[in-house]
Amino acid sequence: MELIKSRATVCALLLMLLLLSHNNGGGGVGMAEARVCTGKSQHRSFPCFSDRICSRQCIKQGGGWTAGYCRLKFCTCQKAC
Protein backbone atom coordinates (compact mmCIF):
# COMPACT_ATOMS: atom_id res chain seq x y z
CA MET A 1 0.00 0.00 0.00
CA GLU A 2 2.86 2.37 0.80
CA LEU A 3 4.39 1.77 -2.65
CA ILE A 4 1.16 2.85 -4.35
CA LYS A 5 0.99 6.09 -2.32
CA SER A 6 4.59 7.00 -3.13
CA ARG A 7 4.05 6.34 -6.85
CA ALA A 8 0.92 8.46 -6.83
CA THR A 9 2.80 11.28 -5.11
CA VAL A 10 5.64 11.14 -7.65
CA CYS A 11 3.18 11.10 -10.54
CA ALA A 12 1.29 14.08 -9.11
CA LEU A 13 4.53 16.06 -8.70
CA LEU A 14 5.66 15.28 -12.24
CA LEU A 15 2.28 16.30 -13.61
CA MET A 16 2.40 19.57 -11.69
CA LEU A 17 5.90 20.33 -13.01
CA LEU A 18 4.80 19.55 -16.53
CA LEU A 19 1.79 21.86 -16.28
CA LEU A 20 3.85 24.68 -14.77
CA SER A 21 6.51 24.48 -17.47
CA HIS A 22 3.84 24.38 -20.19
CA ASN A 23 1.99 27.44 -18.86
CA ASN A 24 5.15 29.55 -18.69
CA GLY A 25 6.24 28.55 -22.16
CA GLY A 26 9.74 27.84 -20.89
CA GLY A 27 10.51 31.56 -20.89
CA GLY A 28 9.95 32.29 -17.24
CA VAL A 29 7.38 34.42 -15.52
CA GLY A 30 6.82 37.91 -16.91
CA MET A 31 9.07 37.52 -19.95
CA ALA A 32 8.00 39.35 -23.11
CA GLU A 33 8.92 38.27 -26.59
CA ALA A 34 11.34 40.57 -28.36
CA ARG A 35 10.12 41.93 -31.68
CA VAL A 36 12.46 41.48 -34.61
CA CYS A 37 12.47 43.69 -37.72
CA THR A 38 13.89 42.42 -40.99
CA GLY A 39 14.99 44.07 -44.21
CA LYS A 40 16.96 43.31 -47.34
CA SER A 41 20.68 43.91 -47.27
CA GLN A 42 21.95 46.94 -49.17
CA HIS A 43 24.69 44.73 -50.59
CA ARG A 44 22.49 42.53 -52.77
CA SER A 45 25.04 42.10 -55.54
CA PHE A 46 26.22 38.74 -54.20
CA PRO A 47 24.15 35.56 -54.02
CA CYS A 48 23.67 34.46 -50.45
CA PHE A 49 25.03 31.03 -49.61
CA SER A 50 26.26 31.53 -46.03
CA ASP A 51 24.36 32.92 -43.05
CA ARG A 52 27.67 33.84 -41.41
CA ILE A 53 28.84 36.00 -44.36
CA CYS A 54 25.41 37.58 -44.63
CA SER A 55 25.41 38.41 -40.93
CA ARG A 56 28.82 40.09 -41.24
CA GLN A 57 27.62 42.17 -44.20
CA CYS A 58 24.51 43.32 -42.33
CA ILE A 59 26.51 44.40 -39.28
CA LYS A 60 29.05 46.26 -41.48
CA GLN A 61 26.43 48.26 -43.37
CA GLY A 62 25.20 49.97 -40.19
CA GLY A 63 21.62 50.99 -39.49
CA GLY A 64 21.44 49.03 -36.25
CA TRP A 65 21.39 45.61 -37.92
CA THR A 66 22.62 42.99 -35.49
CA ALA A 67 22.38 39.78 -37.55
CA GLY A 68 21.55 38.38 -40.94
CA TYR A 69 20.58 35.16 -42.67
CA CYS A 70 20.09 33.80 -46.18
CA ARG A 71 16.53 33.71 -47.41
CA LEU A 72 15.71 32.68 -50.97
CA LYS A 73 19.36 33.31 -51.94
CA PHE A 74 19.13 36.95 -50.75
CA CYS A 75 20.67 38.31 -47.59
CA THR A 76 18.05 39.40 -45.04
CA CYS A 77 19.18 41.57 -42.13
CA GLN A 78 17.49 41.69 -38.74
CA LYS A 79 17.47 43.90 -35.65
CA ALA A 80 15.37 44.44 -32.56
CA CYS A 81 12.42 46.80 -33.13
Q: According to the model, what pLDDT value does residue 14 have?
A: 64
Relative to beta strand 67-71, strand 36-40 is unpaired
Q: According to the model, what pLDDT value does residue 28 have?
A: 47
Average pLDDT per consecutive 10 residues, the chain (81 residues; last block may be shorter) = 67 62 50 78 75 90 89 88 87
Q: According to the model, what pLDDT value does residue 7 have?
A: 75
DSSP letter, residue 56: H
φ/ψ bin of 56: left (φ > 0), alpha (ψ from -120 to 50), beta (otherwise)? alpha
Q: According to the model, what pLDDT value does residue 37 have?
A: 87
CA dist., res. 66 & res. 51, Å (int):
13
CA dist., res. 12 & res. 2, Å (int):
15
